[in-house]
Amino acid sequence: MYVPSDLTDLLEYLDTNQSGVNLIANGSDLINRIQRREVTPRVIVDLSGLSEFNYVRKEEKTIKIGALTTIADLASSPVIDSRHSVFREVATKFGGPSIQNVATVGGNICAASSSEDLLPVLLALDAKVRLKSKFGERLLGIEEFLKGKRLVELKANEILVETIFQELDESSACAFEKVGMRNSLIIAFVSTAVCLRLDKRSGRVDDVRIAFNRVAGKIPERAKRTEDTLRGKPLTMQVLEETKSALRRELRLSSDFRVSEEYRSEVAVVLFMRSIARCYATLVGRSLV
Amino acid sequence: MQLWWDEALSKHLLKFNVNGKDHALVVESHERLLDVLRDRLKLKGTKEGCSTGDCGICAVLMDGKLVNSCLVLAIQARNKKITTIEALGTAEKPHPLQTAFVKWNACQCGFCIPAMILASKNLLDKNPKPTDEEIKVAISGILCRCTGYQKIVDAVRTAASEMRGE
């Protein structure tokens, strides 16, 4: 195990040792994967001492979350106000307290699997990730970063340092819903996050982003065609029915030992409706239809 | 359970504090905090359950936070303060939580109880007057396969009022 003294040392080490190196934050994902022989590292680099990457900050209209921020720290951060309570919703459904205390935001993103509860939310918020190497840094959209199951756009000499997104303003809201066998310590059958921006004067949808996990691509994805059908329209009963059909047509959810695709699709539609109803209620102050 | 990778045998000096006592020992990279507590320090109160972070049975407090010791590499506990069940009371002088667990008969097979008590202690340290819902959330990361949750919640509620002197 290599324990870097600071960021410069870490980036230098990663640049000279590019193969067989796995990064570990607090281990809630990597240790299991080593046990299952899914990864066979040569060296493990311990990031847990780099406390400068544990932060949640608001700068102008942007919220920045350091990669080593734990789910528990994120949920209890004063920056996460009632408008951004979606992160607290995720946190309460994220493993149990002993997982929330160690699992990190950066780890959740880099794990890039469909069991990561944070990913639908970051997709719905259209978050970006900042990557750093010895030679500089780059900023990527989270969709571009997540290339496939356990596959991310991260070079061997790079690390993910933070995720950033536009803060929600008074006309935007975001909600998260998850269904699994239990409330805690469970991998979701399906989970969804919806971010809605409403033109409050006309009542029309200014913008909407809908993300699901457990889709057949094995990573969380956005339902972009459904988003298109909703954009610019008022949230009437008829529009919502059309959206539900669009969602049924678009969603390609996976079947596995947990539940069937049919069940998953049905639940996904229900979770989407709950999420959008909650966004609407937050923004307008009364319930949808 | 053995973790393995190429340089897993590389050795590190681990300095940490367990139940108020400073320790310095040489550990190998692959050793988990759970292994060091049970096999090196002979603190057998911490139990090994699933070893994958799913059951919470191996939970200990690390710098006042509940963590699964099966998912913490020993070396990552450097300079930390660890609290295990051994720090809480003795058979002659049990902790109020332990007295309450006995009173309510909240232990069935007992395997999850060290973790349940530590999770409850962690809760009561921060919140001396929790609601039943808060107790349930605090122990939600620990599975009791005897499913005796109600008595555990009852015991924690009783211990909380005892500790408040009510």
Q: Least CB-CB distance to B5: which of A34, A48, A72?
A: A34
Widest CA span in chain B: 57
Dihedral sign, CA of A75, A81, A84, A89? positive
Q: Does A21 touch chain B (CB under 8 A)?
A: no
Q: Does B105 touch chain A (CB under 8 A)?
A: no
Mean pLDDT of chain A: 91
- Interval A115-130: pLDDT, tens: 788 999 999 999 999 9
- Interval A185-215: pLDDT, tens: 677 778 899 999 999 889 899 999 999 987 7
Rounded CA-CA distance A19/B76 in Å is: 23
Rounded CA-CA distance B146/A287 in Å is: 42
**Residue A88 CB neighbour total at 10 angstroms:** 16
CATH number of the domain bearing residue B137: 1.10.150.120
Mean pLDDT of B7-34: 91
Q: State the residue range of the domain holding B151.
A: 96-163
Q: Which one of B66, B86, B106 terminates a domain?
A: B86
Q: What pLDDT is attached to residue A180?
A: 80
Q: Distances from the Cα of B27 to the Cαs of A226, A258, B120, in angstroms?
A: 54, 39, 30
Give the strand pairing for A43-46 and A21-24: parallel
**Residue A8 CB neighbour total at 10 angstroms:** 10
Q: What pLDDT is attached to residue B7?
A: 65
Rounded CA-CA distance A12/A17 in Å is: 9
Rounded CA-CA distance A54/A165 in Å is: 17
Higher pLDDT, A23 or A260: A23
Residue B77 pLDDT class (50, 70, 90 cuts): very high
H-helix or E-strand containing B12? strand B11-18
- Interval A7-41: pLDDT, tens: 999 999 999 998 889 999 999 999 999 988 888 88
Contact A99, B72 (CB under 8 A): no
Share of chain B above pLDDT 70, in %: 95
Conformation bin of residue B94: beta by default, left when phi > 0, alpha when psi is -120 to 50: beta
Q: Which CATH superfamily is domain A172-284 in?
A: CO dehydrogenase flavoprotein, C-terminal domain (3.30.390.50)
Residue A288 pLDDT class (50, 70, 90 cuts): confident
Q: Residue B1: inside a domain, yes or no?
A: no
Which of B71, B79, B120 best tests the A interface by mutation, with the highest count of A CBs <10 A?
A: B71
Q: Which one of B86, B116, B145 terminates a domain?
A: B86
Global pTM? 0.92
Q: Residue B135: inside a domain, yes or no?
A: yes
Contact A107, A95 (CB under 8 A): no
Write the ipTM. Answer: 0.90
**Residue A79 CB neighbour total at 10 angstroms:** 15
What CATH class does A7-166 carry?
A: alpha beta
Rounded CA-CA distance A203/B62 in Å is: 50
Contact A142, A173 (CB under 8 A): no
Q: Which of A68, A72, A69, A65 is nearest to A98 (CA)?
A: A72
Query: Residue B10: pLDDT above 90?
Result: no
Encoding tokens for residue A188?
A: 């979701």
Domain ranges in chain A?
A: 7-166, 172-284
Query: Residue A217: pLDDT above 90?
Result: no
Q: Least CB-CB distance to A35: which of B3, B55, B66?
A: B3
Residue B122 pLDDT class (50, 70, 90 cuts): very high
Dihedral sign, CA of A269, A270, A272, A273? positive
Residues B76 and B100 placed together within one structural domain of the fold: no
Q: Which of A169, A121, A124, A170 is nearest to A284 (CA)?
A: A170
Residues B125 and B80 placed together within one structural domain of the fold: no
Give the strand pairing for A128-133 and A62-66: unpaired
Rounded CA-CA distance A55/A69 in Å is: 6
CATH number of the domain bearing residue B20: 3.10.20.30
- Interval A91-145: pLDDT, tens: 988 888 999 999 999 999 999 887 788 999 999 999 999 999 999 999 999 999 9
Q: How many domains does chain B have?
A: 2
Q: Residue B2: inside a domain, yes or no?
A: no
Q: What pLDDT is attached to residue A289?
A: 65
- Interval B127-141: pLDDT, tens: 999 999 999 999 999
Residues of A in contact with B73 (CB under 8 A): 1, 24, 27, 31, 44, 46
Residue A179 pLDDT class (50, 70, 90 cuts): confident
Rounded CA-CA distance A23/A63 in Å is: 25
Q: Residue B46: inside a domain, yes or no?
A: yes
Query: Residue B95: pLDDT above 70?
Result: yes
Task: Check CB contact under 8 Å for A96 and B141.
Answer: yes
Q: Which of A218, A242, A219 is nearest to A231 (CA)?
A: A242
Residues B116 and B151 placed together within one structural domain of the fold: yes
Query: Residue B4: pLDDT above 70?
Result: no
Q: Residue B155: inside a domain, yes or no?
A: yes
Mean pLDDT of B116-122: 97
Query: Residue B103: pLDDT above 80?
Result: yes
Q: Distances from the Cα of A253 to the Cαs of A68, A135, A214, A217, A263, in angstroms?
A: 31, 40, 6, 8, 10
Rounded CA-CA distance A235/A4 in Å is: 52
Rounded CA-CA distance A99/A71 in Å is: 8
Query: Residue B3: pLDDT above 70?
Result: no
Which of B55, B67, B134 best tests the A interface by mutation, with the highest count of A CBs <10 A?
A: B67
